[in-house]
Structure 1
Amino acid sequence: MEAIAKLNNCPTSPRKMRLVVDLIRGERVEKALSVLKFTNKEAAIRVEKLLLSAINNWEAKNGKTSDGSELFVKTIMVDGGRQLKRLRPAPQGRGYRIRKRSNHVTLIVDSKNTETTQN
C-alpha cells in the first residue's frame, strides 16, 4: 500500500527544492530522514515535514505503525507553482521584473513488502 503527501505553493524555487529532493529519491525512509536532518538547506526542513506526513498517512491507511525499515520513498516530484511578479527599480526610469517562484512537491511512500509480493 502506498501513501501520498503533497506540499503546495511552497515559497522556494523549484530548482533549489530539486537539489534536496534528489538526495532522498528511492531511499529507505529511515535513511532519508537522517539525510534531511543533516542537510544544510532551508528546503530540507520542509521536505522532512512532508516525509513525516507521508509516513503518518501510510500508518493511518494501513492501520499499523511502521518501523521505517519496510518503507521507502517511491516517487517524489517537484513542479513549478505560482509566481509572484514584482518590479525592481532600474536605471533611467526602467523597471526590472522579479519572479518570486514557488513549487508543488508530491511524495509517495510505499512498503517493500507490497513491492516483493507483486513481482
Structure 2
Amino acid sequence: MKQETSVVSASLNGVRTSPRKMRLIANLIRNKEIQIALDILTYSHKRRISLLFKKLLLSLLSNWKKKYDESYSEKEYLLYIKEIRVNQGKTLKRIRPVPQGRGHRIRKRSSNVLVFLEKKKEM
C-alpha cells in the first residue's frame, strides 16, 4: 500500500539579509505548528526579518489551500513546518575607500529561504 505524502513548499529568493541573521529566526519556528509559528513571528524583536518570514508562511498556507482545499479540514489535521532551509544567495561586492588610497571590500550578502509544510494526524 502506497503512503500518500502531503507536503507543500514555498521559497523566497534574493532577500537582502545575511543568512546568519535569517537562521536566527528560522531556528525559532522550525518544527512548529503553523499558527504557533505565526504568533512567534508577530512578537519577534527582529521586525524586518520576521515580517519576511510571516509573508512566506502566509504564502505557504495559500499554496496548501490551493492544493488540498477539498480534502482539508482544520479539525482533522495539524499543519506544521516540516523543514526550513536558509542558504546563501548572491553576494554583492562593493569597495569602501580607506586611508592612503586603498580600498577594502564590503560583501553585501543575500539569502534564499525554502520552507516545507506538512500535515500530521491529530492524536
TM-score, shorter chain, exceeding 0.5: yes
Identity of aligned residues (%): 44
Question: In the alignment, which of 47, 56, 60 is matched to residue 50 of structure 1?
Answer: 56
The aligned counterpart of 2:42 is 37
Aligned partner of residue 92 in structure 1, secondary structure: coil
Deviation, 1:40, is: 1.4
CA distance in 1, matches of 2:45, 2:119: 28
Give deviations 1:82-107, integer Å, cap 9, x for gaps. 00100001111100100000000000
Mapped contact 1:59–1:66 kept (Cα < 8 A): no
Higher helix share: 1
The aligned counterpart of 2:21 is 16
The aligned counterpart of 1:105 is 113
Deviation, 1:66, is: 5.7
Name the Cα RMSD after superposition: 1.9
Give deviations 1:37-58, integer Å, cap 9, x for gaps. 1101121110110011111101
The aligned counterpart of 2:66 is 60
Aligned partner of residue 40 in structure 2, secondary structure: helix
The aligned counterpart of 1:92 is 100
Gaps of 5+ in 2: 1-5
Return the letter of the residue paired with 1:33: L
Q: Which runs of 4+ in 1 moved over 2 A?
A: 64-69
Gaps of 5+ in 1: none
